[in-house]
Structure 1
Amino acid sequence: MRHDAQGARSDDGRAVFRPLSHLRSQPLFGNLAGDTAASLVVFLVAVPLSMGIAVASGAPLVAGIVAAIVGGIVVASFGGSAVQVSGPAAGLTIIVADLVQTYGWPVTCLITVLAGGVQVALGAFRIARAALAISPAVIHGMLAGVGVTIALAQLHVVFGGSPHGDTLANLTELPGRITDGDTLAIAAGTITIGTMILWPRLPALGSLRLNRVPAALVAVVATTVVAAASQWEVERVELPDSFAQAWSGPALPTADQVHGVAVGVAAVAMVASVESLLCAIAMDRTHDGRRVRLDRELVGQGSGNIVSGALGGLPVAGVVVRSTANVRAGGRTPLAAILHGVWILVFVALFAPLVELVPMAALAGLLVFIGLKMVDLSHVTNLRRHHEASVYLVTLVGVVLLGLLEGVLVGFGLALLVSLRRLTGLTVLTEEANGRWHVLVQGSLTFLGVPRVTHALRTIPVGTHVDLDLHVDFMDHAAFESIHAWRVDHERTGGHVDIDEVHENWYERSSAQTAPNAKTPPRGLARGWAPWGVRRPDHDRETPASGLLLAGANEYHAGAARRMRSLMTRLAHRQSPKALFLTCADSRLVPNVITASGPGDLFTVRNIGNLVPRRDQEGTDDSVGAAIEYAVDVLEVPGIVVCGHSHCGAMKALLEGAHNEPDDEHLRQLRAWLRHGRASLAQLGGTVRAESPGPDAMRELAQHNVVQQLENLLTYPAVRRRYDAGALELTGMYFDLESARVSVLDEARGEFVAIAPDPVPQPRATGEAEAHDRSPS
């Protein structure tokens, strides 16, 4: 059961728990003050960026303003993200510039409308997540290539000239443009770029933090003021006298343009969708409100593009810069994005003459800075760890030299080749010791790897004992057939084969569906969670514990360590667990197995009986209290779980009255510790003295004990404070050893309710190991 943040208590003083969803929706006007303040900040960021992107796209300047207004009002109204702000995006600049140059602005508006229709259809058919299948290396490389292309083109404007449509021409002619540059235009661009670099680094003056004002706004305003005060004769922004005069709606293409228009629609829809969805997912990490609904967000983006194209605006997409500014300024609902669109509309309608004072070189300098910022070298570092830096670099160079679509296709093709190489990557190792052969197969075992495996197996002498370890994450039928045929032949000639599958039982499942004709069955438990006694029955009694531990460590280094290295490198310097997991020290209870969690997910505290001493109780155990305070105050976990289990030795001792035994030295500390469970026993109705309490009584006490420990948690000030603030959930769990099922406490029903497993197409292998109640926990 999840406990409500209201923290009410019943008449008898016991805590009353109500369900709580940690990530709850907030009404549109539930954060009116914060959203209004955030909308003003985003408005100040959006105006110069929108005009700059329109200039870089070769579109009418008013098209950028229209797209910003529509992206704010329409997309936020119909989209699925609480905080994302949409508008003209730098990632679409190259596509739009090429479309404008090839087909003209009216046909480009039609392409925007049709691309919006495609996005709405994709969202309606609920396939938004398919857009996320594109490798992040390709996406980041594409954006970096777009950034380089924008920077190269706008540098010509900074130096007083006009950019070329070809990136190579912009690059080769840049030295000549620098030598013949316009001094005043260079000055305007330099002021803009310099301000963008220095403004965020300004130190705070007491409580006054000037760098909270958007750098883009400060840069453009500063350059405009200097140029106007000095009466510089530079090219400035030109707005039409009226919207009706500037409006140029969609127009139909000619017959010979239909194919190119279809390609343009697909390109705009793909890039805008992927960029928007990735931005929305990234923004979810920055706030604790409602998570993005990807399909609805895609419908909202499509609706925005339909309206923007119809009104003569640029294509819209989710924009990281504006969305980040929105979250940092306190925006938490779509109202912030809607209001920012309203402010842009009011500003352009009332203060157009001020906009016309802005030098074009200032907007160009802004775009140069933004373009270079899109080349984020931190992505290269992260991608190198996953051996995908080559995909990033090839995509970047391809976009710059060949064009956006061509570069993306080249990068996507390379990403597929890299993935194929990984899928077919296989390691086969053989070694012999004391007449016994050990064969290790690691990787994905497909028909492409069959020749290597077959060659290694054929080198093993007949009649020998072979241990075949299959560390494979996939095995196709061809691989199974080759291994099985070798195994049958080897056993017919007097040999013996033990097959041990470490991850999933691909071989065992295939053997069950075909006549195996093999003497020894494969071992059925995955090595990740099977106990030593099942995996090494011949060594369990003979091998000391230290030997088993060392053998396990060697097995870990041989397999899992390499796969975990990248993950643990990221976790090494910071942990951010999702829950404090308080459970019993019983060796049969493995928290990471029953919760399917991994490193960094759970901050675990284990003790006999999963007891939580009350904060106000005399002689409170400092170790448990310290762990609670650290998890809640320092790590700020969003939830605490107390998990009990069946056949608990501590519950058995309580029922037998072990804590009332004479105070001799035998189990003295255990009896002292079990006093923290007396309140749970009192809930059950007192001590049941019996030589062997029944399983029903032990189960009932164990479940009462979970509820009592949840109440004990609320005696800790750190827990109570965050619990009352709605920042902390409390959950009760119970694990039945015999059925291997997890139950969750349901206050409404007053009982523990079993969690129904989700159906899976290929269930993982299962196995049973007998367990006996030998420990007090």
Structure 2
Amino acid sequence: MCTLRYDLPASLVVFLVAVPLSLGVALASGAPLVAGLVAAAVGGIVAGALGGSSVQVSGPTASLTLVIAGLVHAYGWQATCLITVLAGAVQVLLGAFKAARAALAVSPAVVHGMLAGVGIIIALAQLHVVLGGSPQHSAWANLTQLPGQIIDMHGHKVMVGVLTVTVLLVWDRLPKPVRAVPAPLAALLVAAGTAWMFNWSVTRIDLSGAITGWAPPQLPPDDWHNVVGAVLLVALLAGAESLLCCVATDGTHTGRRSDLDRELSGQGVANMVSGVLGGLPVAGVIVRSTTNVRAGARSHWSAILHGVWVLLFALCLGWTIKLIPMEALAALLVFIGLRTISLGHVRKVHGHNEVPVYLVTLGGVILVGLAEGVLAGLALAALLALRRLTRVTVDKREEGNGRVRATVSGSLTFLGVPQLTQELRAIPASTAVDLDLNIDFMDNAAFEAIHSWRLDHERLGGTVTIDELHDEWYAMAASGTRMFPAKSPPKPAGRWWLPWTHRRPDTAVECQLILGADEFHRRTAPLVRAIFTELAAGQEPSHLFITCADSRIMPSLITSSGPGDLFTVRNIGNLVPRAGSDPGDDSVAAAIEYATRVLNVHTITVCGHSSCGAMAALLRDPATTAELPQLRRWLRHGGASLSRLDGARDDGALDALCRLNVRQQLENLRTYGKVDEQVRAGRLKLVGLYFDIASARVQVVPPGEPVADADHPSFSRCRPVPRPAT
């Protein structure tokens, strides 16, 4: 109860919003006006206490007005209350069977289209009330008879409606202290006070005897199959709106997330109670819920208390409602109905190419009916989703050797056969074609299309080489193997760059290499097999890459290179012994000789890195390597790098030496005659790189500049590798 100091004032704000909206929904539904207050009280107390959301506020909702109005007209009010009870029972069962998540599969374009359609119908119907007339039986009839209603409009009633809408429009522009009163309540108070002051002729609301005139729900006379359909429709629409409202309000506060199944069950119990007491169907209402959050609510006690205030108002102050003109409530509904058409929602669905779904749902709701419009929108959304899921892309490009490479991506079904056939038959005859199938499904129609094209193309003198990057759908179909109906299961994303300890922490060390090779065979080999097939005849690398043997340095990872790009030499300290040095080293010299005289590389790169163990050994007392004679002898080739380091051997000395060592090795490369000759001729470039392990950044180290330490101004030129222009 420590949150009561936040929830109590919030509940009063929501109560002031709920009363006029509940009366308006009841008016639009053709139900007794007290039914709106009953539903608001029950929605607050019961759904607030039993539901799974901490801030959602439930009550009568405008989206169900068309359904309720139709049920009242067809079966009467008491039978409609029984339908509400049964719909609540269905919601309780759905919540018990954990079916709440299924409601989230409804396309938002359908939901927004439905709400906009309902809002337009409500606005058209209540506009007749504002003009002093009566709403007609359909939206089309309301629209066609509107000109005559405008001609015969009643002055005082129209003035009340115009005054109500004016207050609603300007209220948000008034000073903040004034806006503490909710706009709907302020509009009704201004309209009622003005009508009473000037003694205007308006229609009054009378709730006398409404509470004591309660009657139990009754069975519909007959036509049970239609009643069952109505029960399911009310249950599903009210449940879907509640759950979608739940998800929306979860994004507006930092409290606990909603339990959707519990919320659905709580809504079901609230509908059962509301129906028994003679109230409208209950659902989560986005206007009240967002108002609750903005008012500072922290827990479900705000919703519960708001229901208590509505109940006390209906029992003790219900007589004050007769001061409210009916036309003011109708004007409030016109305003709310038009507000459901949100340009923000239209922009969102337009961004996802779902405007047709929105328009079909809206048009269906207005012209045919709520259920029919929603079903039409769902059907169109499903068709568009199916079209997207089965979309095929064919990318064709000519290669330098006169071959054509065509890559087909997507799911190959009969829906994509026309496009697939058109693209493949556009390839000239007698052409050598490499067809890459990057697909996760192929049905018989797609196989027949590809196979038929292949046979025709080869008959006309061309060749077709098919490479399947995933499962071998084409090969299996061609061999007569039974095809599985499901699509290829999604393969886990490749994570080859992660250490074994991150991927298989519990695996024995001696098994990690074998398991890694097995993972390569399963995941990576199918993707790169075609590349290695081309490389099997020989290598033509463009770079000689000399780097440290440190296990943290991965040349292909930090340079985004692939097979055949780098001719790599690795040793401790990325050292390049000078030509003719003592002790000599034929290993590095042989690699340099082979790279420059046989492979004809264009670039030689020396890549150092931070926290290099070899450079650390050079900085320390030589006695530290006394028991490692081979290492001690090898590190003599780093002596020139150490001699370039002036100043104190402080904490920054190691990284300074690591950088200086890169420059020194670039100079050592020039001691090889063939390297120096090609550099002077402009046929070979020398590049220094420095990899900072902690930040995972690669920097370029310019060669040939003597530097004292890492703080020297010249190190400002060690810049991040520029990204290529796109």
- The reply to whether TM is greater than 0.5 is yes
Which residue, 406, 415, 431 being the options, matches 1:448? 415
Per mean C-alpha deviation after superposition, the further-off stretch among 658-667 and 152-161 is 658-667
How many angstroms does 1:225 deviate by?
1.6
User: Is the CA contact 1:426–1:443 (under 8 Å) kept in the aligned structure 2?
Assistant: yes
Letter in structure 2 aligned against 1:108: T
2:105 paired with 1:133: yes
Alpha carbons of 1:168 and 1:462: their partners in 2 closer, same or farther (altered >3 Å)? closer
User: Is the CA contact 2:432–2:462 (under 8 Å) kept in the aligned structure 1?
Assistant: no
The residue number in structure 2 matching 1:331 is: 297
Letter in structure 1 aligned against 2:197: A
User: Is the CA contact 2:25–2:65 (under 8 Å) kept in the aligned structure 1?
Assistant: yes
Letter in structure 2 aligned against 1:233: S
Cα distance in 1, alignment partners of residues 23 and 206 from structure 2: 11
Cα distance in 2, alignment partners of residues 122 and 588 from structure 1: 54
Letter in structure 2 aligned against 1:74: V
The residue number in structure 1 matching 2:652 is: 672
Q: Mapping of 1:336-735 within 5 angstroms?
A: 336-433=302-399, 434-450=401-417, 452-454=419-421, 456-457=423-424, 465-472=432-439, 474-476=441-443, 479=446, 483=450, 495=463, 497=465, 499=467, 501=469, 505=470, 507-508=471-472, 534=528, 542=540, 653=613, 672=652
- 1:345 is paired with a residue whose SS is helix
Structure 2 length normalisation: TM-score?
0.67
User: Is the CA contact 2:132–2:154 (under 8 Å) kept in the aligned structure 1?
Assistant: yes
Cα distance in 2, alignment partners of residues 345 and 380 from structure 1: 38
2:7 paired with 1:35: yes
Alpha carbons of 1:674 and 1:128: their partners in 2 closer, same or farther (altered >3 Å)? farther
How many angstroms does 1:418 deviate by?
2.3
Cα distance in 1, alignment partners of residues 539 and 651 from structure 2: 31
Cα distance in 2, alignment partners of residues 384 and 252 from structure 1: 45
Alpha carbons of 1:232 and 1:389: their partners in 2 closer, same or farther (altered >3 Å)? same
Alpha carbons of 1:589 and 1:70: their partners in 2 closer, same or farther (altered >3 Å)? farther
How many angstroms does 1:432 deviate by?
3.2
How many angstroms does 1:145 deviate by?
0.4
- 2:269 is paired with a residue whose SS is helix
How many angstroms does 1:439 deviate by?
0.9
Letter in structure 2 aligned against 1:210: V
The residue number in structure 1 matching 2:240 is: 274
The residue number in structure 1 matching 2:219 is: 252
Cα distance in 2, alignment partners of residues 447 and 670 from structure 1: 71
How many angstroms does 1:392 deviate by?
0.9
- 1:410 is paired with a residue whose SS is helix
Alpha carbons of 1:514 and 1:262: their partners in 2 closer, same or farther (altered >3 Å)? same
Which residue, 48, 51, 54 being the options, matches 2:26? 54
How many angstroms does 1:203 deviate by?
4.0
Alpha carbons of 1:176 and 1:664: their partners in 2 closer, same or farther (altered >3 Å)? farther
Letter in structure 2 aligned against 1:130: A
2:187 paired with 1:215: no
The residue number in structure 1 matching 2:508 is: none
Cα distance in 2, alignment partners of residues 674 and 45 from structure 1: 69
2:16 paired with 1:44: yes
Cα distance in 1, alignment partners of residues 613 and 473 from structure 2: 43
User: Is the CA contact 2:160–2:191 (under 8 Å) kept in the aligned structure 1?
Assistant: yes
Q: Deviations over 1:619-676 (max 9, x none)?
A: xxxxxxxxxxxxxxxxxxxxxxxxxxxxx97677499668869976579999739899
Q: Deviations over 1:585-612 (max 9, x none)?
A: 977889xxxxxxxxxxxxxxxxxxxxxx
Which residue, 173, 192, 216 being the options, matches 1:224? 192
2:292 paired with 1:302: no
How many angstroms does 1:457 deviate by?
4.3
Cα distance in 2, alignment partners of residues 466 and 195 from structure 1: 72
User: Is the CA contact 1:487–1:497 (under 8 Å) kept in the aligned structure 2?
Assistant: no
- 2:199 is paired with a residue whose SS is coil
Alpha carbons of 1:500 and 1:198: their partners in 2 closer, same or farther (altered >3 Å)? farther
- 2:192 is paired with a residue whose SS is helix
Letter in structure 1 aligned against 2:38: V
Cα distance in 2, alignment partners of residues 474 and 278 from structure 1: 33
User: Is the CA contact 2:441–2:473 (under 8 Å) kept in the aligned structure 1?
Assistant: no
Cα distance in 2, alignment partners of residues 664 and 84 from structure 1: 72
Letter in structure 2 aligned against 1:467: D
Cα distance in 2, alignment partners of residues 312 and 302 from structure 1: 15
User: Is the CA contact 2:364–2:374 (under 8 Å) kept in the aligned structure 1?
Assistant: yes
How many angstroms does 1:412 deviate by?
2.2
RMSD: 3.9
- 1:332 is paired with a residue whose SS is coil
- 1:397 is paired with a residue whose SS is helix
The residue number in structure 2 matching 1:318 is: 284
Cα distance in 2, alignment partners of residues 141 and 362 from structure 1: 27
Per mean C-alpha deviation after superposition, the further-off stretch among 484-493 and 393-402 is 484-493
The residue number in structure 2 matching 1:580 is: none
User: Is the CA contact 1:658–1:671 (under 8 Å) kept in the aligned structure 2?
Assistant: no
Letter in structure 2 aligned against 1:114: L
How many angstroms does 1:230 deviate by?
2.2
Cα distance in 2, alignment partners of residues 422 and 358 from structure 1: 52
Which residue, 121, 145, 166 being the options, matches 1:173? 145
Letter in structure 2 aligned against 1:149: I
Cα distance in 2, alignment partners of residues 654 and 98 from structure 1: 85
How many angstroms does 1:280 deviate by?
0.7
- 1:356 is paired with a residue whose SS is helix
User: Is the CA contact 1:659–1:675 (under 8 Å) kept in the aligned structure 2?
Assistant: no
- 1:244 is paired with a residue whose SS is coil
Alpha carbons of 1:171 and 1:460: their partners in 2 closer, same or farther (altered >3 Å)? closer
How many angstroms does 1:174 deviate by?
1.1
User: Is the CA contact 2:91–2:235 (under 8 Å) kept in the aligned structure 1?
Assistant: yes
Alpha carbons of 1:442 and 1:202: their partners in 2 closer, same or farther (altered >3 Å)? farther
Alpha carbons of 1:463 and 1:160: their partners in 2 closer, same or farther (altered >3 Å)? closer
How many angstroms does 1:383 deviate by?
1.5
The residue number in structure 1 matching 2:71 is: 99
Q: Which is greater in Rg?
A: 2
Cα distance in 2, alignment partners of residues 529 and 542 from structure 1: 28
User: Is the CA contact 2:168–2:187 (under 8 Å) kept in the aligned structure 1?
Assistant: yes
User: Is the CA contact 2:43–2:59 (under 8 Å) kept in the aligned structure 1?
Assistant: yes
The residue number in structure 2 matching 1:288 is: 254
How many angstroms does 1:86 deviate by?
0.7
Cα distance in 1, alignment partners of residues 256 and 84 from structure 2: 29
Structure 1 length normalisation: TM-score?
0.63
User: Is the CA contact 2:241–2:284 (under 8 Å) kept in the aligned structure 1?
Assistant: yes
Cα distance in 2, alignment partners of residues 481 and 529 from structure 1: 36
Letter in structure 1 aligned against 2:169: I
2:223 paired with 1:233: no
Cα distance in 1, alignment partners of residues 651 and 442 from structure 2: 53
Which structure has more relative contact order (CA 8 Å, sep 6+)? It is: 1
Alpha carbons of 1:173 and 1:496: their partners in 2 closer, same or farther (altered >3 Å)? closer
Percent identity of equivalent pairs: 51
Letter in structure 1 aligned against 2:352: H
Cα distance in 2, alignment partners of residues 195 and 76 from structure 1: 31
How many angstroms does 1:112 deviate by?
0.6
Alpha carbons of 1:162 and 1:536: their partners in 2 closer, same or farther (altered >3 Å)? same
Cα distance in 1, alignment partners of residues 58 and 25 from structure 2: 13
The residue number in structure 1 matching 2:561 is: none
Which residue, 230, 243, 247 being the options, matches 2:211? 243
